[in-house]
Amino acid sequence: MTTAPDFDSFAQSYDRRESQVVWTRLVSDLETPVSAMLKLARDGHYCFLLESVEGGAVRGRYSMIGVRPDLIWRTRDGKAEINRQARHDPSGPFTPCEGSPLQSLRALLEESRIALSHDLPPMSAGLFGYMGYDMVRLMERLPVPNPDPLGLPDAIMMRPTVICIFDSVKDEVTLVTPVFPDQASTARAAYARACERLESVMDGLDRPLDQLAPALRSVGERPARQSSQAPRRPPRIGAPGRAPRIAVMRPARAGARRVWARRPMRYNRWIVVPPRGAQTGPIP
């Protein structure tokens, strides 16, 4: 594996207490963002796949995968908290942040800032996540919010330790890992750990997808039925892994056709479609 920068350049920046990244590049002839996501995020609780889209219809140049965050920041009801042990335990502990959520987020953005090399994609490091609509309540006075049955945070930000960037123009994958100065670690040890993170991701990408079959089946795929088993009625709406479909059934009577519509709802229903030019009315 060829990594950049070399150790001497890395050590000089590390001794100056500068945050930086270590990266390597791979050829993406046989890998896609979706297959890479299935391989890298199989055991991860905090991960993402982002596709760039231009104009809402045309796919852009880059696809990004982030895994294994070292910290997770979140806010709810005007209070922010952070988990700096996310690499070992993503579920916690979360400790309260000082100041308002926006102040703590600004401080975290400044802490995570890295000057990237000119030949790296612009999303090679940083914070990734979402901000919900209710974040506007930190800047405006609004009426009482609607009920929140899901109980999700108003915003979550994570800082991945490895980012996998697909470049559809160059047909290559760039693996990037950030390194932040640590007084308890030498430059040699920090560089070695960064290379280990990259090698771990490369090993994950080399794993064939057929090893993921049990995990995919648990998401919704089922093994094929034996021919001796009687066919079953199609599953109810909302069954995982089943896409909605419409099938034309036997006509209820001459001049009409009956359509079985499976919609993404909690119920099924019949839709009767009259032929063209026919007078509409109840059909038994």
Residue 74: both structure tokens together: 């979140």
Segments making up each domain of the chain, as ranges:
7-216, 243-273
Rg (CA), the chain: 26
Q: Are 171 and 24 in contact (CB under 8 A)?
A: no
Q: Percentage of the chain surpassing pLDDT 70?
A: 73
More confident residue, 213 or 47: 47
pTM of the full structure: 0.70
The CATH number of domain 7-216, selected from 3.60.120.10, 3.40.50.11720, 3.40.190.10, 3.40.50.2000: 3.60.120.10
How do residues 107-156 score in pLDDT, each as one tens digit?
999 999 999 998 899 889 999 999 988 888 888 888 877 888 888 899 99
Average pLDDT (47-57) is 82
pLDDT grade, residue 251 (50/70/90)? Answer: very low
Beta strands 48-54; 246-248: pairing state: unpaired
More confident residue, 238 or 196: 196
**Angle formed by the axes of helices 7-15 and 187-206, to 10°?**
130
How do residues 176-201 score in pLDDT, each as one tens digit?
999 999 988 999 999 999 999 999 99
